[in-house]
Structure 1
Amino acid sequence: NDRMTPGSMTELLVDDTPALRVHFDGEVPANSARYFRALVLWDFDGSSWTREGWRPQLDLETVEAGSAETRYEITLEPTNRPWLVALDVPLAPPENARMTYDRTLYARNRIDQLRQYQLRSVLGYRLDESIDPRDRARALRLPDGFNPKSLALARQWRAEGRDDNRVIQAAMELFNASFTYTLSAPMLGRDSVDDFLFNTRAGYCEHYSSAFVVLMRAAGIPARVVTGYQGGWWNALGNYLLVRQSDAHAWAEVWLQGRGWVRMDPTAAINPARIEAGETATSGGQDSYSGSWLRQIRNRLDLVNHLWTRTIVQFNALRQKSLLQPLGIGAAEQRDLLLALAVLVASILLAATIWVMRSVRSKDGDALDAAWRTLRQRLARRGLTDRADEGPVDYLKRIRASWAADPALPALEQLVRRYVDLRYSRGAADVADVQAFARSIREIRAPRALDRNPRRAT
């Protein structure tokens, strides 16, 4: 959402549904660098953070790259919101989107269906080394009459002669010493930051980022809240990063002389021993599901959803028009697609019909039939005509009538009876029995050819 109130993100942090999937062109960023920026929240009314203030300047905050570009593609699940998510920090907006001065990305319309877009980001950077005076004033503004204890603490740090870095260190050490990370955070009163810092001392990323920014502003350090996602699970089989709603996160940015806007994650300062066990999610990239076999299974099964999304759901008009490019049709019209579909369906039906007409049996049945056909072909060459409509019992009668006195007759009778037994007396013939039957046919001596002269036969 574009409003953050400490305690409002609980339902999101226990939501295990996918939020986005990321394909990287090159090296995959380390988990500690996977901060996906969504919104920058500047304005605090005493209880909630928003971005409602008006910024007349349209120039972007400048970026000085300190690392190579990271190129990647994001598939964003529907949010019914217009803003897009980008790896911190994006260099330019994707197609059909715009970038605001604080490098927040907005689509032209609300994201009410899957949105796929390409981006370039730098993980190491200096952001806006020279701050606009109006931005500085906005990043120091605090509402009157709220959180007097928190303001007094930050001003005390300054009175002790601490510079910006030591003030930041004091806040981080405070969180590490006596605060607990939990999703079961107590309700906060009117002075929410005072309640959190001096009473409950328990919460999650919203509580820590909100309190941290208030302390920084009270100490004269420009600061703001950033919301988005952190971490994710790398699917090595599908070669993509899965980010779930439970990876939602809030952190802070402070403006420091000579460094510009610097990311600070106060949640990461919590002593690991003070993170409550049994929670369904933690922030700062720590995945408490990592030991859960159910979570591991769900992560791997997401590959099916991902493939379905890329091949079926995203089969949009543009991809449909390019479908017939391999056939030399650059931009297929609807009639071309319908014709191609009709040909494809007809081909499938024809292939299925041929397959059915062949009456394909199991592998064992095929071998048995082949051996039986070999026997009938050998006897046909000796004068016993083969009839396609004749069963093995009637066939045996003709053998007896044709070769009543031939020494090979007993062996032939035995072969026919074995075939009847293998084909009709069992559910499935054993492979060894079929092989023995075929071997017997190859080894049997065929009868003498019948004399086809009627007078000599008489």
Structure 2
Amino acid sequence: TWTRKPGLLQGPAEDVRSSDTPIVYEITLEPTQRPWLVALDVPLQAPANLHMSNDRALFARERIGDLRQYRARSVIRYELAGELAERDRKRALDLPNGFDPKTHALASQWRGAGQSDAAIVQSALALFEASFTYTLSPPLLGRNSVDEFLFDTKAGFCEHYSSAFVVLMRAAGIPARVVTGYQGGWWNALGNYLLVRQSDAHAWAEVWLHGRGWVRVDPTAAVNPARVEGRASADSEAQNWTPGSWLLGMRNRLDLINRLWTQSIVQFNALRQKSLLSPFGISEAEQEDLLLALGSAIAVILLLATAWVLHSGTAQRVDALDASWNRLRARLGRRGLVSRTAEGPFDFMARTRHRIEEPDVQQRLEQLVHAYVTLRYAVIEPDPAAVSAFAKAVGEFHLPRAVRVRD
């Protein structure tokens, strides 16, 4: 089990050097019931009323039980801890005794071959890339979990890879540590902000290399690059749980409404409440006045925000795949082959299979049904070229008047 030692919360933060211009940004954090706060890697100092650990993680003294909003400054290209204190080196090499002998033997083999620290890192990544599988349903592991993962199951998700990688590095005498956080997210182009969800959680590793300090390494990328590439784009894997682009656009707009609510209502503090009616000559508003004004303002703000968000941006696109399928259903319906409301494509095909007498026409229809089912249900998001090909095939399919359809 990986744990954060209490000593990391005290003492000065690790030295960071960067020639980049710092990025200044604002974060709105929903309640997490944990003390840790998020920031771009790597934050330069703790925001007001927050604290920074030795390894530059932000935290509060209490669990985050309400919405927090704070500003931070970070650099994304940096050298972290160019010099490693002996105490920190010892901590980053520590491993429990009596576990994972095969892993230790492999690390010793790499070190005995005269490989440099950087070369050993590449050897571990090449090992993962050669024969490992990324899965969210890995087999259970026993006492020597790293040995079993590296030499038997060879299947897991980011926490398996980061943990096994760090154990390999420490066994080879390279200071290393597991890093957890969030990667990428969902860019809301309407609101111009990045939404990061718990589903974007990820685990990496860091190794300390002489002359470079702590260097970020993502072992998962060696196994499944798609898991870690394009994670903050409009087409990223993180948001492809939606069955169509129109639903993604709707989710985008609804989240913007949530953000407007947070900024306009949740952050409406006492000081702003007292001065709410000052433009109307009321310097110290009474509770009744505030309730009336606030209720009216909330109604107007939400009405206008909802109308603007739902109708802004590009028009909702009709799903091209379903549009082609509906054209095919309508064409068949005009010849008496009507699909029922609660009937799936395969059920419809089975029920009408013997009503078309011409075998070649029936075969082409069955091919179209199989193509639709494959594009709609076998993939997260169908390939646009395949959708276009399906639409073309539907356009070319007709039931000539000479074709007999049995009643």
Question: Aligning the two structures, in what range does the TM-score lie when normalised by the shorter sequence?
Answer: 0.5 to 0.7
Work out whether 1:308 is the aligned partner of 2:233: no
* 1:147 alignment partner, one of 75, 100, 120: 100
Cα 1:70–1:345 shift into 2, 3 Å? closer
TM-score by length of structure 2 reads 0.66
Q: Distance in 1 between matches of 2:144 and 2:194?
A: 39
Which residue in 1 is equivalent to 2:41?
Answer: 88
Give unpaired runs (5+ residues) of structure 1: 1-47, 276-281, 349-458
* 1:341 alignment partner, one of 290, 298, 315: 290
Which residue in 1 is equivalent to 2:339?
Answer: none
Q: Distance in 1 between matches of 2:109 and 2:186?
A: 42
* 1:254 alignment partner, one of 207, 211, 216: 207
Render the CA deviation track for 1:118-173: whole Å, top value 9, x for unaligned: 10000011111011100000000000011111111111111111101110111111
Q: Distance in 1 between matches of 2:143 and 2:173?
A: 23
Q: Distance in 2 between matches of 1:326 and 1:107?
A: 38
Q: Distance in 2 between matches of 1:346 and 1:61?
A: 49
Which residue in 2 is equivalent to 1:110?
Answer: 63
Number of equivalences: 289
Letter in 1 for 2:57: T
Secondary structure of 2:256's counterpart equals helix
Work out whether 1:237 is the aligned partner of 2:190: yes
**Residues 205 and 283, structure 1, Cα contact 8 Å, conserved in 2:** no
Work out whether 1:59 is the aligned partner of 2:12: yes
Cα 1:143–1:346 shift into 2, 3 Å? closer
Work out whether 1:76 is the aligned partner of 2:29: yes
Q: Distance in 2 between matches of 1:95 and 1:196?
A: 43
Render the CA deviation track for 1:82-117: whole Å, top value 9, x for unaligned: 111111000011111111111111113211111111
* Backbone CA RMSD of aligned residues: 2.5
Secondary structure of 2:178's counterpart equals strand
**Residues 289 and 295, structure 1, Cα contact 8 Å, conserved in 2:** no
TM-score by length of structure 1 reads 0.59
Which residue in 2 is equivalent to 1:215?
Answer: 168
Q: Distance in 1 between matches of 2:37 and 2:15?
A: 20
Q: Distance in 1 between matches of 2:266 and 2:94?
A: 46
Secondary structure of 1:227's counterpart equals strand
Letter in 2 for 1:100: S
**CA-CA distance at 1:210 after TM superposition:** 0.4
Moved more, 59-68 or 283-292: 283-292
Alignment of 1:282-301 (within 5 A): 282=227, 286=231, 287-291=236-240, 292=242, 293=244, 294-295=247-248, 297-301=250-254
**CA-CA distance at 1:327 after TM superposition:** 6.6
* 1:180 alignment partner, one of 133, 138, 142: 133
Q: Distance in 2 between matches of 1:186 and 1:175?
A: 17
**Residues 26 and 69, structure 2, Cα contact 8 Å, conserved in 1:** yes
Q: Distance in 2 between matches of 1:120 and 1:268?
A: 27
* 2:156 alignment partner, one of 203, 212, 216: 203
Q: Percent of aligned positions with the same letter in both sequences? A: 64
**Residues 230 and 285, structure 1, Cα contact 8 Å, conserved in 2:** no
Secondary structure of 2:66's counterpart equals coil
Secondary structure of 1:73's counterpart equals strand
Which residue in 1 is equivalent to 2:122?
Answer: 169
Larger radius of gyration: 1
**CA-CA distance at 1:321 after TM superposition:** 4.5
Alignment of 1:398-413 (within 5 A): none
**Residues 100 and 145, structure 2, Cα contact 8 Å, conserved in 1:** yes
Q: Distance in 1 between matches of 2:8 and 2:296?
A: 61
Q: Distance in 2 between matches of 1:326 and 1:166?
A: 68
**Residues 247 and 285, structure 1, Cα contact 8 Å, conserved in 2:** no
Higher strand share goes to which structure?
Answer: 1
Q: Distance in 2 between matches of 1:128 and 1:345?
A: 51
Which residue in 2 is equivalent to 1:158?
Answer: 111
Cα 1:131–1:285 shift into 2, 3 Å? farther
Q: Distance in 2 between matches of 1:232 and 1:78?
A: 18
**Residues 9 and 53, structure 2, Cα contact 8 Å, conserved in 1:** no
Letter in 2 for 1:212: F
Larger RCO: Structure 1 or Structure 2 (Cα < 8 Å, ≥ 6 residues apart)?
Answer: 1
**CA-CA distance at 1:325 after TM superposition:** 6.5
Give unpaired runs (5+ residues) of structure 2: 298-407
Letter in 1 for 2:135: T
Which residue in 2 is equivalent to 1:269?
Answer: 222
Which residue in 2 is equivalent to 1:455?
Answer: none
Structure 1 runs (4+) deviating above 6 angstroms are: 345-348
Alignment of 1:365-376 (within 5 A): none
Q: Distance in 2 between matches of 1:345 and 1:106?
A: 34
